[in-house]
Structure 1
Amino acid sequence: MEPQSLERLLSIAEIESWAMKCLSPKAISYYASATDDELTKEANGRVYRSIILRPRVFVDCTECSLSTTILGNQLALPIYVSPAAMARLAHPSGETGIAAACSKFNALQIISKNASMTPASIVEAGPGAVFAWQLYVLKDISATERTLAQIRAIPEIKFIVLTLDAPWPGKREADERFKMGEVASGGAPQTWGTEGGLTWRKTLEWLSTQTDLPIVLKGIQTHEDANAATLFPVVKGIILSNHGGRALDTAPTPVHVLLEIRRHCPEVFNKVDVLVDGGIKRGTDVVKALALGAKVVGIGRAALYGLAVGGQCGVERVLKILADETMTAMKLLGVRRICDLTPQHINISPFTSQLLERSSSLEKGEKIVSVL
């Protein structure tokens, strides 16, 4: 789609609709699928619609900034691109198209371990972007160590994102059905190579010997694990994520985990940077997550759908739509800076009945972690 035509797409939903006309059946089955009945995938987006915004008036918002920091890295946008594999299924430019778009916005891109292009080529395409790299620990530990050595040689990569929410694959039926057809036609069956035996102390101590970069844990889905992450100095951030609904169906949404942390261990927000991903389709979704304590908010499928409809320009259009909507929402809320967004700007009363009344023993959890 030409850049002038992209301007006529006014929402992430419209971009997704157009992408479905551009993507191959293989790409659709891989990108869009989620586990089992896809309840968590749907809940990730629906939960934001249930939060009510509380605008304040008589605030001069003629000057409004979207700038923020993550792990000490300055960003011009509180929206990042989550690690998403095989971007070249969407467009020949693949991850380099995403990187070039992020560069235009001084945004963060977390490069997927299963990217369709090399990390070095991706960062080269985005001189104005900030980069992190997603780590899956493989059963072949020596192969993982070799890859980490390659990442050490790329100074543009600022932190490591250790993914924990998919030690085994979820049952993504649309994707499985397509792969069964490929195997029936002579294709090789896929095997799951991720190590399922990771533990807190053993894994983090090993990883600390392989990199000096800060570590962010992706896939935190309870306040107990959020609190446990703060017990390890090497961990500088956590991503509240259920893998886009692609791992455990009926797992909690990131919003619910944010609320759990606020209720049971709010000190987590002062100890590590908290990121979220999953379900973001509007700027109002972004400000709601930020008001609950997230530092930045990730998009995965939306970036891939933008790539499908227009390559780099399509991803730029996705980021522009969300940036403009976020700016508008902030001005109408009476907020000039990201750091000024607080829980006073939202009404979460619809969720009070869905939260744990009493916390599991955090002290007991700390003792368990200390011996692992």
Structure 2
Amino acid sequence: MAQQDGPDMTDILSLDGMRTLAMGRMSRKAISYYVSATDDSITKEENGNVYRSIQLRPRVLVDCTRCDLSTTVLGHRLAAPVFVSPAALATLAHEDGERGIAGACSRHKTLQIISKNAGQPLKEIVQAGPDAVFGWQLYILKDVAETERELALLKEVPQVSFLVLTVDAPFPGKREDEMRFKNAESRAPQAWGTESNLTWRKTLAWLQTQTDLPIVLKGVQTHEDAYAATLFPSVKGIILSNHGGRALDTVAPPIQVLLEIRKFCPQVLGRIDVLLDGGIKRGTSVAKALALGAKAVGIGRAPLFGLAVGGQAGVERTLEILIDETTTALRLLGAQRVSDLGPRHVNTSALHAQLYDGPAALEEVEREVLEEVDVAARLTL
């Protein structure tokens, strides 16, 4: 682990401990950007709190001397089922920035999804993580020509294995902490540049003309959209995510959406890779998500806090803490490997009353997304 100025990393024992240290080291600008969430931050808080309502069910007298955390995401082997979700402008936390995150992911042989709004050049980031797996976050901009140029340039970066199309933020949420900081600096808010007229068939058909990379949809928040994703061969995975509570407030936490998928369309879990992010602070939460069918679990703000505390070394320690806690959770559950986990290892009954209780409506979903009116299909982005 690279040496950095700051505390002894071995003294930091939890992600919350790392966050506390980071809050004392980051600029006001960084705090307002990283920590802010929409409206009353209900979704942001519930993303993490919901895991308390899920109980673990350990099995005993199982040989757990060896514990294998490896998993595969879109055919790529990860040494651990924990990845780094895209978060913009990591250089606000530390000059190591996204390169430091890449180095940490390389050390732990896991996945980094690089933010479209990274603070460092893409080629430099991937070069810093020779043993990492990389995805790249895509926003389709109102300036479609600019998006096409970005996708063309991406062909020059073979280390990027798949695209992560973010679909949950066609408009910005009302992030009041961020707005207060900009108002205090008399800074006008930036114009929202993401295209808002995207649709399933039109957008995915266009995207296939621009890239051969597999597509992952980030920001799925209902079982209907999870099922819809399986209807398009170019979509190989989804990330259940609500943008860390930064888009629409009072939506369901991702783990609850996973339960909704299990209730209404469990076949999704066998057709595409289902990942999730949001609210992960402990290895027990990772184990719960894996037991319910997630292939891997992402963290977004936590690596930024690690950067703020110790640069790349802080991100390495952040991942190390979560991986070690997940290993402990699996061993105490009686699971030798990730594939041993299943619904029998969790009790989710406390959440059943909160699940969507309407119809599955899968036939209606198919009709909506596959039979878009011809005029809509002809529209340009």
Alpha carbons 1:3, 1:313 under 8 Å: kept: no
For residue 370 of structure 1, report the CA deviation from its aligned partner: 0.9
Between the aligned partners of 1:367 and 1:166, the Cα distance in structure 2 is 24
Change (3 A) 1:307 1:208: same
Any idea what SS the aligned residue of 2:280 has? Answer: coil
> Does 2:110 align with 1:100?
no
Displacement of 1:58 after TM fit?
1.0
Whole-angstrom distance in 1 between the partners of 2:149 and 2:188: 25
Per-residue CA deviation, residues 157-198 of structure 1 (Å, 9 max, x unaligned), is 00000000111110000001111222x2xx454111000110
Q: Is 1:233 the counterpart of 2:217 in the alignment? A: no
Q: How far 1:4 moved relative to its partner?
A: 6.5
Partner of 1:135: 138
Name the counterpart of 2:307: 307
* Residue identity matched to 2:270: N
Whether contact under 8 Å (2:170, 2:195) holds in the other structure is: yes
Match for 1:280: what amino acid? I
Q: Is the 8 A contact 1:90 1:304 kept in 2?
A: yes
Q: Give the equivalent residue in structure 1 for 2:375.
A: none
What percentage of aligned pairs have identical amino acids? 63
Deviates further, 2-11 or 41-50: 2-11
Q: Distance in 2 between matches of 1:329 and 1:359?
A: 35
Counterpart of 2:204? 204
Deviation at 1:238, TM superposition (A): 0.3
1:27-67, CA deviations, whole angstroms, 9 ceiling, x for partnerless residues? 00000000000000000000011110000011100010111
1:59 aligned to which of 42, 56, 62: 62
Once the two structures are superposed, the pairs formed by residues 170-189 of structure 1 within 5 Å of their partners are 170-182=173-185, 184=186, 187=187, 189=189
Structure 1 stretches of at least 4 aligned residues deviating more than 3 Å after TM superposition = 1-4
Aligned-partner residue type, residue 271 of structure 1: R
Aligned to 1:148: 151
Q: 2:89 is matched with which residue?
A: 86
Q: Conserved in 1, the CA contact under 8 Å of 2:182 and 2:188?
A: no
Match of 1:47 in 2: 50
1:216 match: 216
1:334 aligns with 2:334: yes
The alignment yields a C-alpha RMSD, in angstroms, of 1.0
Q: Deviations over 1:122-171 (max 9, x none)?
A: 00000010000000000000000000011111111000000001111100
| TM-score (structure 1 length as normaliser) | 0.98
1:357 CA drift (Å):
2.8
Letter matched to residue 304 of structure 1: L
Match of 1:258 in 2: 258
Normalising by structure 2, what TM-score? 0.95
Structure 2: runs of 5 or more not aligned:
373-381
Shift of the 249–4 alpha-carbon distance from structure 1 to 2, 3 Å rule, reads closer
- 2:289 matched to which residue of 1? 289
Q: Give the CA deviation at 1:359.
A: 2.5
Asked if structure 2 preserves the Cα contact closer than 8 Å seen for 1:76 and 1:105, the reply is: yes
How many Å separate the matches in 2 of 1:314 and 1:65? 24
Q: Deviations over 1:69-114 (max 9, x none)?
A: 0000011010000000000000001000000000000010000000
Mapped partners of 1:309, 1:3: distance in 2: 7
Match of 1:162 in 2: 165
Which residue of structure 1 aligns with residue 77 of structure 2? 74
Question: 1:99·1:122 contact (CA, 8 Å) conserved in 2?
Answer: yes
Secondary structure of 2:64's aligned partner: coil
Counterpart for residue 349 of structure 1: 349
Separation in structure 1 between the aligned mates of residue 80 and residue 330 of structure 2, nearest angstrom: 13
- Conservation of the 8 A alpha-carbon contact between 1:242 and 1:251: yes
